């Protein structure tokens, strides 16, 4: 029989999966980010259904207290996710700065053209 905690983890996995699919479908979340969260939901579902998997993986890698392995994996995954988010944010900011520069140049050229037209100096 499944323990209450394992049932809770399974329900969280299913609920998270449904929520992510809904957000992707409604275009509130890009598919690329949605895939990460779907994997998190699947991991939660698998750990809820087969909890001995943690003990098995822990014994494979030589961890004496297998639940600590879950925390280590979660911390590493969140750090990598944070790094990838920072990289994407940097790219967006760089692109935004370039677009702002192009707009400023276009406005400056339009102003010069407009001033030349007002003076009758059209070339």
> Structure pTM?
0.67
Is residue 104's pLDDT more than 90? Answer: yes
Q: What percent of the chain has pLDDT over 90?
A: 27
Query: What confidence tier does 123 reach under pLDDT thresholds 50, 70, 90?
Result: low
Mean per-residue pLDDT, 101-121: 87
The percentage of residues in the chain with a pLDDT greater than 70, rounded to a whole number, is: 96
Q: What is the Cα 26 distance to its own chain's centre?
A: 16
């Amino acid at each position: 029989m499944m323990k209450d905690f394992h049932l809770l983890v399974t329900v969280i996995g299913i609920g998270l999966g449904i929520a992510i699919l809904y957000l992707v479908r409604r275009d509130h979340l890009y598919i690329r980010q949605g895939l990460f969260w779907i994997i998190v939901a699947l991991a939660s579902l698998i750990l809820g259904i087969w909890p001995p998997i943690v003990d098995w993986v822990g014994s494979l890698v030589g961890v004496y207290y297998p639940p600590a392995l879950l925390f280590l994996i979660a911390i590493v995954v969140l750090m990598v996710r944070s790094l990838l988010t920072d990289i994407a944010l940097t790219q967006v900011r760089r692109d935004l700065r370039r677009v702002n520069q192009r707009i400023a140049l276009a406005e400056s050229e339009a102003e010069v053209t407009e001033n030349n037209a007002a003076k009758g100096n059209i070339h």
